[in-house]
């Protein structure tokens, strides 16, 4: 039987809905979503059947990387609202029975943060060592060969200090020096500021990139480059320079675990809170397992290997089993997409054709895996990746790599609320990113009226999921099968069948006391000892009917 008692932490098996505030709902007519917009739609979020929300950054920022370049950790950027708005959001979310996780970016700040402005002034000020500074080589060149994720060197020369500063991303996002205990104390105080306000946890941005090699050794080269950004780059023969190094010295350092332990200790000062870390490495599954292997580390960790272009039952099984084998004691988190990746409806479209049936199946599959589940706004609508003209691109990474890679904006366009309204009801003025025309037919008002829509399927499935405890907390075990079928059991009593392909498959069903479970929204046929499972469909069987 499932361990579904009060001692089970709320985040284990929870479904967390990610909100990208810029693109959720604009209420002050500046074309940018805001906190009051989120508040006004929290009932919609609660009605989905999720357990909590994750808010992408809403803090004070010059927005060079749309909030991941923070200039004030403890205030709300005016484009999103005020601290009072955040408190109201927190209060209403909790009143609806939902938890609230907020993004925290501790690897780096904006160059407009007061800490960096003081640090760059000279080599002797009180915050001189709060960022990663280094002298040039004897010939004036950069300290080493480390590369920035957003292109070029990870070092920029600052003429005021006469030194280079390190930045893993844009040069306007200098890296904090988390070897410095004063910086760690300052970050701990930021955590307490938000924990005292009542947040339920943090999503830690690039949590494996806090520290670096203090000897500043060059990263070794790879014999071949590869890309993370989608099959279109591979087809173009495009090699992204960042991926042509083994990043053994500028991230994933063993010492980084010490920072994680300190952050966990702060979190543990409060009851019932959690930390989920984003793992940004070549093997993010192994890294996620490493960072969650005991109770002094993260509660769970996010990885990207189910956000890659490959779509197969074997891929999904291999990734999940890879995590389990890496650390059987760890609790995983799973997602198919977020604000940094193309929408799964497009990325995994079979023969390039998106379909609501596949969107339904993928949503159910994700929410049937063992772990904490993260779903991204718009997945419940089956939205495809938006296509943008070059002039519409806002993502700094897209601007650098266009046309081989058009950036992350395709998954960041505004949510379509009302099909007959200007800008699909997102805003009364021109949005910061255009409404994608194909999304209008999938607007929320349209789907709410269609009993067979992706939206109504999601609502029904998540409601049904809460009645099946084994889907929440029990172990997962995969069974040998053939493509495109995925079969796994959760615990001892529940077996799950998923057809990832377009054609109907014929499968043997369990014998003995196994019985089909209804109420999940999928359609199939049972004939004798066979299961006829249509394309993009699923079936569930229980051995002990009392579990549902």
How is residue 309 written in tokens?
């272009």
Shared domain check, 319 and 427: yes
Please say if 232 is a catalytic residue: no
Is 381 contained in some domain?
Answer: yes
Is 152 contained in some domain?
Answer: no
Residue 183 burial class via C-beta count within 10 angstroms: exposed 0-12, middle 13-18, buried 19 and up = buried
532: CATH:
2.60.40.1180
What is the reported pLDDT for 241?
A: 81
DSSP letters spanning 261-317: HHHHHHHTTSTT-EEEEE--STTHHHHHHHTTSSTTS-SEEE--TTSSS---HHHHH
Check 122, 269, 295, 513 and give the catalytic one.
269
Q: Which of 404, 433, 464 is the last residue of a domain?
A: 464
Shared domain check, 291 and 340: yes
d(CA 426, CA 174): 34
Shared domain check, 379 and 355: yes
Q: How many domains does the chain have?
A: 2
Shared domain check, 524 and 427: no
Shared domain check, 449 and 492: no
Mark residue 182 as left, alpha or beta (left: phi above 0; alpha: psi -120 to 50; beta: remaining).
alpha
Tens-place pLDDT, residues 57-74: 999 999 999 999 999 999
Shared domain check, 345 and 297: yes
What is the reported pLDDT for 390?
A: 93
Shared domain check, 194 and 291: yes
Is 146 contained in some domain?
Answer: no
Q: Is the pLDDT of residue 541 over 80?
A: yes
Is 103 contained in some domain?
Answer: yes
For residue 22, report the phi and psi dihedrals to the nearest 5 degrees: -55, -30
Contact 375, 50 (CB under 8 A): yes
d(CA 367, CA 14): 9
DSSP letter for 238, please.
Answer: -
Please say if 269 is a catalytic residue: yes
Q: Which of 428, 444, 464 is the last residue of a domain?
A: 464
Shared domain check, 487 and 430: no
Q: Which residues make Cβ contacts (< 8 Å) with residue 176, sequence separation at least 6?
A: 106, 107, 108, 109, 115, 130, 131, 132, 183, 187, 210
d(CA 63, CA 157): 22
Shared domain check, 345 and 447: yes
96: CATH:
3.20.20.80
- pLDDT range class, residue 227, cuts 50, 70, 90: low
Residue 77 domain boundaries: 15-107+182-212+253-464
Tens-place pLDDT, residues 483-532: 999 999 999 999 999 999 999 999 988 767 889 999 999 999 998 889 99
How is residue 221 written in tokens?
């080269």
Instruction: Using only the alpha carbons of the chain, give its radius of gyration.
Output: 23
Mean pLDDT of 409-421: 97
- pLDDT range class, residue 176, cuts 50, 70, 90: very high
Is 116 contained in some domain?
Answer: no
Q: Which of 429, 464, 499 is the last residue of a domain?
A: 464
Shared domain check, 376 and 501: no
Shared domain check, 358 and 277: yes
Shared domain check, 444 and 312: yes
Is 133 contained in some domain?
Answer: no
Is 223 contained in some domain?
Answer: no
Is 166 contained in some domain?
Answer: no
Mean pLDDT of 224-249: 66
Check 205, 340, 380, 409 and give the catalytic one.
205
């Amino acid at each position: 039987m499932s361990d579904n008692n009060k001692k089970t932490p709320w985040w284990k098996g929870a479904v967390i809905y990610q909100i990208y505030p810029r693109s959720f709902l604009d209420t002050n007519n500046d074309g940018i979503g805001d906190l009051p917009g989120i508040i006004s739609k929290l009932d919609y979020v609660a009605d989905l059947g999720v357990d909590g929300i994750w808010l992408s950054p809403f803090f004070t920022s010059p927005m060079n990387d749309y909030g991941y370049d923070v200039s004030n950790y403890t205030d709300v950027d005016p484009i999103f609202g005020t601290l009072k708005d955040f408190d109201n959001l927190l209060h209403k979310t909790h009143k609806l029975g939902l938890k609230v996780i907020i993004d925290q970016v501790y690897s780096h700040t904006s160059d407009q943060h007061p800490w960096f402005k003081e640090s760059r002034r000279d080599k002797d000020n009180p915050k001189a060592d709060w960022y990663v500074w280094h002298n040039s080589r004897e010939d004036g060149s950069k300290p080493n060969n480390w590369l920035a994720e957003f292109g070029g060197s990870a070092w920029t020369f600052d003429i005021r200090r006469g030194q280079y500063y390190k930045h893993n991303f844009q040069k306007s996002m200098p890296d904090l020096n988390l070897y410095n205990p004063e910086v760690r104390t300052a970050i701990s105080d930021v955590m307490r500021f938000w924990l005292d306000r009542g947040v339920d946890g943090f999503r830690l941005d690039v949590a494996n990139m806090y520290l670096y090699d203090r000897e500043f050794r060059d990263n070794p080269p790879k014999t071949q480059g590869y890309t993370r950004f989608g099959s279109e780059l591979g087809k173009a023969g495009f090699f992204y320079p960042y991926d042509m190094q083994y990043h053994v010295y500028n991230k994933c350092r063993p010492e980084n675990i010490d920072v994680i332990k300190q952050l966990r200790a702060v979190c543990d000062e409060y009851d019932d809170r959690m930390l989920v870390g984003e793992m940004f490495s070549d093997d993010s599954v192994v890294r996620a397992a490493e960072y969650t292997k005991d109770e002094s580390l993260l509660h769970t960790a996010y990885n990207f290997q189910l956000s890659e272009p490959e779509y197969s039952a074997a891929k999904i099984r291999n990734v999940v089993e890879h995590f389990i084998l890496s650390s059987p004691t760890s609790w995983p988190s799973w997602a198919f997409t977020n604000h940094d990746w193309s929408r799964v409806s497009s990325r995994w479209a079979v023969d390039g054709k998106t379909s609501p049936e596949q969107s339904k199946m993928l949503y159910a599959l994700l929410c049937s895996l063992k772990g904490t589940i993260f779903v991204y706004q718009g997945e419940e609508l089956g939205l495809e990746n938006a296509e943008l003209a070059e002039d519409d691109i806002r993502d700094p990474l897209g601007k650098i790599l266009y046309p081989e890679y058009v950036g992350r904006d395709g998954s960041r366009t505004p949510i379509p609320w009302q099909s007959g309204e200007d800008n699909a009801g997102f805003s009364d003025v021109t949005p910061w990113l255009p409404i994608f025309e194909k999304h209008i037919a999938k607007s929320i008002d349209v789907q709410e009226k269609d009993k067979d829509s992706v939206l109504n399927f999601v609502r029904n499935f998540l409601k049904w999921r809460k009645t099946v405890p084994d889907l929440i907390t029990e172990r997962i075990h995969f069974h040998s099968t053939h493509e495109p079928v995925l079969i796994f059991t959760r615990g001892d009593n529940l077996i799950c069948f998923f057809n990832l392909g377009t054609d109907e498959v014929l499968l043997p069903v369990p014998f003995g006391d196994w019985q089909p479970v209804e109420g999940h929204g999928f359609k199939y046929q049972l004939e004798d000892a066979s299961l006829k499972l249509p394309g993009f469909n699923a079936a569930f069987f229980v051995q002990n009917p009392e579990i549902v």
